[in-house]
Chains A and B, each alone.
Chain A
């Protein structure tokens, strides 16, 4: 609804009539939303509104959950990623993903960041350069540069989450999907991750699922409000926060949502 008004001119990801069902339950109901280059869209809404399902359907992670049926289309640079000819592995390389809790792998910091590159058998100097760059972009380089061989699991939670961001960035995705990336972090670590995301939105498309309106207010350009699987309202962050057009949105952002 009113999505057309805020459609960026050149959409990197274009979602049309996306409907996801699990048996008789409808998790997402005809959601249409476009994502332009260099933007940070916060997807907000109460628990169970379908925001996680939404972000997972953008890189076909929905397929990993048995019993989910997806209808509608998700286009990445014009190509429907749900097309039978499209390999989900390729889709996921173009769209990185960061999860609620840090999910570093049981290997060194360096190898974590290099994981995606190793999969495509990138050359060693290329891997070195890409890992360095990814760690810099994720705002972790200065903290770990001297100890890249340490086990990643010895890092703090906030550092681990930034390493996960670096790992996703290392394969140079055009889109980064973040599913409540700071929900397991303390305020200081949250702040570091938010700063990282703010830097990244100048470079790529960020889709940030968050239950925290404050976080959306701090770092997003645009807010999409989901409720019961429907996209209720989407618009520039300031407009949604100050002049929500829908009563439900206003109730949610002011914390008066029951």
Chain B
């Protein structure tokens, strides 16, 4: 009986640490696996180059940033628009329909976006928007088609621009949702104080509500970026996978994530080529992990810095 009590009290003390071990162990396992598989001792950062034929990974790093950053910018802008409309301007019954839609979209698996993008969005944007842009906006450097990208090819839609669009659509619900909830948490008193000073709703939104909701806005940006840069299948389906930097927005390219899924099969075939391929992909995964980690840490730091001295109110 005494022994049993001892065991029970011991368990009571230790179980939180057992649970704490789970995420810690996973983190350590992933990092060590990737470090070993990439064989950094032998290859070092020799992969850190633009030379694709010699397994340089920089093209894919740039490809990832070229898709994720514009997609994030678009998703933040549109998301803020939806969030402000829903919390401030729309009649309650319209917001009541809109909000669950956003929540629903945030939960859709990415493969669904990928299929939709592949079959529907690609040709829709390709035939309408991209061809139009290639003809009428050709004076903008990135929008000018090169001689080998004919309008017929552009009309199929696949390429960098479509990948950006699909990514934007995919992360839009989560950025919208986070910013909407942050704006909704702005105290009513604060709103009314702004209005009582003779401010319009827009002035209160811009100068009081959005600054107050800053933490949520930053959170939306970092989470959105993490999703955008890590997205695999949907991007692979629409980016017109090619191991090169794009010459314009209609061109194909690769992101780190889309390249991994595109070549993992070949790498697993074994043999000396396969082994090299595995080291290369592992290093790519390691870089992806590092970028996500850096963004995460920077995000936390940013949020903390923004809010020091404000907490507790």
Query: Known contacts being A99-B189, A115-B207, is A106 close to B196, with CB within 8 Å?
Result: no
- Which residues of the partner chain A approach B203 to less than 8 Å between Cβ atoms? 119
Say whether A105 contacts B208, CB under 8 Å. yes
Q: Mark B200-222, 1 if CB is under 8 A from A, else 0.
A: 10010001100110100000000
Q: Taking the complex as formed, is B266 at the interface, i.e. its CB lies under 8 A from any CB of chain A? A: no
Classify the interface of chain B: helix, strand, loop or mixed: helix
Distance A150 CA – B310 CA, assembled complex (angstroms): 11
Say whether A61 contacts B310, CB under 8 Å. no
Which residues of chain A in 100-148 are interfacial with respect to chain B, using CB atoms and an 8 Å cutoff? Answer: 100-101, 103, 105-107, 115-116, 118-120
Distance A103 CA – B190 CA, assembled complex (angstroms): 5
**Which of A90, A107, A116, A119 has the most chain B CB within a 10 Å cutoff?**
A119
Closest A residue to B312 by CB, please name it: A153
- Which residues of the partner chain B approach A119 to less than 8 Å between Cβ atoms? 197-199, 203
Say whether A151 contacts B309, CB under 8 Å. yes
Q: Taking the complex as formed, is B262 at the interface, i.e. its CB lies under 8 A from any CB of chain A? A: no
- Which residues of the partner chain B approach A38 to less than 8 Å between Cβ atoms? none
Q: Taking the complex as formed, is B149 at the interface, i.e. its CB lies under 8 A from any CB of chain A? A: no
Say whether B195 contacts A64, CB under 8 Å. yes
Q: Mark A71-94, 1 if CB is under 8 A from B, else 0.
A: 000000000000000000110110
The tally of residues in A whose CB lies under 8 Å from a CB in B reads: 29
Say whether A106 contacts B200, CB under 8 Å. no
Query: Known contacts being A105-B211, A115-B207, A153-B309, is A99 close to B193, with CB within 8 Å?
Result: yes
Distance A64 CA – B195 CA, assembled complex (angstroms): 9
- Which residues of the partner chain B approach A97 to less than 8 Å between Cβ atoms? 192-193, 196
Q: Taking the complex as formed, is A229 at the interface, i.e. its CB lies under 8 A from any CB of chain B? A: no
Closest B residue to A100 by CB, please name it: B189
Number of A-B contacts (CB under 8 A): 73
Distance A230 CA – B49 CA, assembled complex (angstroms): 81
- Which residues of the partner chain A approach B214 to less than 8 Å between Cβ atoms? 106
Distance A120 CA – B214 CA, assembled complex (angstroms): 25
Say whether A96 contacts B208, CB under 8 Å. no
Q: Taking the complex as formed, is B194 at the interface, i.e. its CB lies under 8 A from any CB of chain A? A: yes
Distance A254 CA – B195 CA, assembled complex (angstroms): 37
Closest B residue to A177 by CB, please name it: B196
Q: How far is the CB of B209 from chain A (nearest CB, A)?
A: 10
Distance A92 CA – B195 CA, assembled complex (angstroms): 8
Q: Which of A39-47, A163-171, A203-211, A235-243 contacts B (4 or more CB under 8 A)?
A: A163-171
Q: How far is the CB of A54 from chain B (nearest CB, A)?
A: 15
What would be 29 A-B contacts, judged by CB atoms less than 8 Å apart?
A64-B195, A89-B198, A90-B198, A92-B196, A92-B197, A92-B198, A97-B192, A97-B196, A99-B189, A99-B193, A100-B189, A101-B189, A103-B189, A105-B190, A105-B193, A106-B208, A106-B211, A106-B212, A106-B310, A107-B211, A115-B194, A115-B197, A115-B207, A116-B197, A118-B207, A150-B309, A151-B309, A153-B309, A153-B310
The 10 closest A-B pairs by CB, nearest first: A93-B198, A97-B196, A103-B193, A116-B197, A154-B309, A92-B198, A103-B189, A106-B211, A153-B310, A106-B212
Given A99-B192, A105-B194; 17 other pairs, CB 8 A cutoff? A64-B192, A89-B198, A92-B198, A93-B197, A96-B197, A103-B192, A105-B207, A105-B212, A106-B212, A106-B214, A119-B203, A153-B309, A154-B310, A164-B193, A167-B197, A168-B196, A168-B197
Q: Give A contacts to B, CB under 8 Å.
A: 59, 61, 64, 89-90, 92-93, 96-97, 99-101, 103, 105-107, 115-116, 118-120, 150-151, 153-154, 164, 167-168, 171
